[in-house]
Amino acid sequence: MQRDTYDSDHEDFRQAVRAFIARDVQPHHGRWENEGLIERTAWEAAGQQGLIGIAVPEEFGGGGTPDFRYRLIIMEELAAAAANSFNAGLSVQDDLVIPYLVDLGSQEQKARWLPGLCAGTLIGSLAMTEPGTGSDLRSIRTTAVSSADGWILDGQKTFITNGMHADVVIVFARTNPDSSNAAFSLFLVDTLSEGFRRGRKLEKVGLRGNDTAELYFDQIHLPREALLGVEGAGFSHLMDRLPRERLAIAATSLAASSAAFEWTKSYCFERKAFGRPVGDFQNTRFTLAEIATELDFGWAFLDRAVHLLNAEELSAVDAAKAKWWMTALHQRVVDQCVQLHGGYGYMLEYPIARAFLDARIQPIYGGTNEIMKEIIGRDIADRTRSQV
């Protein structure tokens, strides 16, 4: 299907992204995967090329262009290069941390953090999940207690993307822990703060090059101005920004699925079995036809969702639909593509093998797909009842 999503400016940007990846990502990506950490120089190079903070106002070091299609191009090109770990890290920076600061930060907070985040000289992370809570954020135990001159933050977080590199962490914490109606707030934590420490760099099945960590906040004394947004409104702040996060996850899955399909098409018509290309067997053609059709439907839905996001009209329900369906499609596509590669699909020297491993987290983070279906189902129930 021919997409008409992009104009000439977008395509010029795509060429710049491809040049950056060829120069600063692909020569090092294998080593990052083996070492479990992406070098900070890659972040700085991305910042120098203007690939981070595209939507951030120019006064704070960004590109001043709030058009999510530019982010989508970066996702597509990194996926095509099998650089899924860097894709995940940049998404946390650009689709979570930076928008929280742009939307909720004071002028002082924006001036302190945004220029470095856009330049790639600073790396950010978002700390919500805790051991034993998973997607149940109302059960978190991390607390921020008001003190005479600020806050005392105490607790721990886990599964934190960019955790080992992070210079600033947005922390979700309880701010009235003794109340039966617990309120939650967000805090900006400088990782140089006394009482902050990093735990293990977690060993994951996929996205091996992306650092994921345990973080500890041991009675950290935060200044009053560390509060991000409105005190007690932390949960609503999260809910308001989840549609963008979930759309970014959906977009990453669709880009990765398309990349896997491109590699597999090429392989099927290069590899021969029983004297003819694998792609000439009917079963192979049927599988390729199914994948191609589902990807076309996926891109049509995603392009519409991106249009809604740019217009600030993307609903939580539409984002949930995109997230669950495209991440589920991602699982089917990479599984079928591994099968079509045969034994070579199980070898890590082939990008499809890493793509298979990298894909599995997509239906889990950002809210599990079971939660996405509950959001959609609850909306259906509410609408139906209102019509009865």
The DSSP result for 150-172, as a single string, is EEEEEEEEEEEETTTT-SEEEEE
Q: How far is 235 from 228, CA to CA, in rounded Å?
A: 12
Q: Residues near 107 by Cβ (< 8 Å), separated by ≥ 6? A: none
Checking if the pLDDT of 181 tops 90, the result is no
Q: Are residues 22 and 78 in the same domain?
A: yes
CA distances from 320 to 21, 160, 310, 369, 376 (A): 30, 22, 17, 8, 7
Checking if the pLDDT of 131 tops 60, the result is yes
Helices (H) and strands (E) in the chain, counts: 12, 10
Q: pLDDT digits over 134-176, tens only?
A: 667 778 899 999 998 999 999 999 999 999 999 999 999 999 7
Supply the mean pLDDT for the chain.
94
Q: Are residues 132 and 221 in the same domain?
A: yes
Q: How far is 165 from 43, CA to CA, in rounded Å?
A: 11
Q: Are residues 217 and 299 in the same domain?
A: no
> Sorting pLDDT into bands at 50, 70 and 90, what band is 280?
confident
Q: Residues near 217 by Cβ (< 8 Å), separated by ≥ 6? A: 142, 153, 154, 155, 156, 157, 171, 189, 195, 196
Query: What local confidence, expressed as pLDDT, does residue 182 receive?
Result: 67
What's the CATH number where 185 sits? 2.40.110.10
Q: What is the average pLDDT across 258-270?
A: 95
**Does residue 247 sit in helix, strand or coil?**
helix
Q: Are residues 243 and 337 in the same domain?
A: yes
Q: Are residues 173 and 43 in the same domain?
A: no
The residues carrying an active-site annotation are 245
Residue 147 inside a domain? The answer is yes
Final residue before a domain boundary, out of 90, 122, 154: 122
Q: Check: CB of residue 302 under 8 Å from CB of residue 322.
A: yes
Q: Are residues 239 and 377 in the same domain?
A: yes
CA distances from 342 to 268, 269, 332, 353 (A): 10, 13, 16, 11
CA 378 to chain centre: 25
Angle between helices 68-80 and 234-270 (to 10 degrees): 40
Q: Are residues 326 and 241 in the same domain?
A: yes
Residue 282 inside a domain? The answer is yes
Range of the domain at 194: 126-232
Phi, psi values for residue 184, rounded to 5°: -130, 150
What is the torsional sign of CA 309, 314, 318, 324?
positive
